[in-house]
């Protein structure tokens, strides 16, 4: 059992570091599309981080198409579509998620994307 937990931990950290490397190169791979965030774009702001009440906001000057919450094994936990078309504060709720580290994929209207991480306390 300890070996299984150790193995899963290694996989989680490997996925995390691969995602960080992809973000450092301004690329994020999705099974259908390759997104590229232009180097001159300002990143979105996620607050509060760490998340304490299962809710956080995503704010960007660009129009956000959708926000995805992804766990550390790559499963999409939640996807919120921006129905308003406004780039302001998008509220994301995570009431049924366990405490831990999550990746947030922010997809913009022009199909560019970025990934950030949050901690749920």
Query: Tens of pLDDT along 44-92?
Result: 999 999 998 889 999 988 889 999 999 999 999 999 998 877 767 899 9
In this structure, what DSSP letter does residue 51 have? B
- pLDDT at site 84: 78
- Closest C-alpha among 17, 112, 115 to residue 58: 115
pTM above 0.85, yes or no: no
Whether residue 64 contacts residue 88, with contact meaning beta carbons closer than 8 Å, is answered with: no
Indicate the helix (H) or strand (E) that contains 121.
Answer: none
Give the CA radius of gyration of the chain.
15
């Amino acid at each position: 059992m300890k070996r299984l937990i150790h193995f899963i931990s290694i996989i989680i950290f490997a996925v995390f570091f691969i995602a960080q490397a992809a973000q450092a190169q301004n690329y994020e791979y999705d099974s259908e599309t390759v997104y590229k965030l232009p180097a001159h774009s300002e990143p979105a702001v996620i607050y509060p981080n760490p998340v304490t009440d299962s809710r956080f906001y995503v704010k960007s000057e660009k129009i956000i198409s959708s926000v995805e919450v992804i766990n550390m094994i790559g499963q999409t936990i939640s996807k919120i579509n921006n129905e308003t078309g406004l780039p302001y504060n998008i509220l994301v709720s995570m009431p049924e998620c366990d405490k831990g580290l999550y990746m947030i994929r922010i997809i913009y209207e022009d199909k560019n994307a970025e990934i950030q991480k949050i901690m749920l306390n």
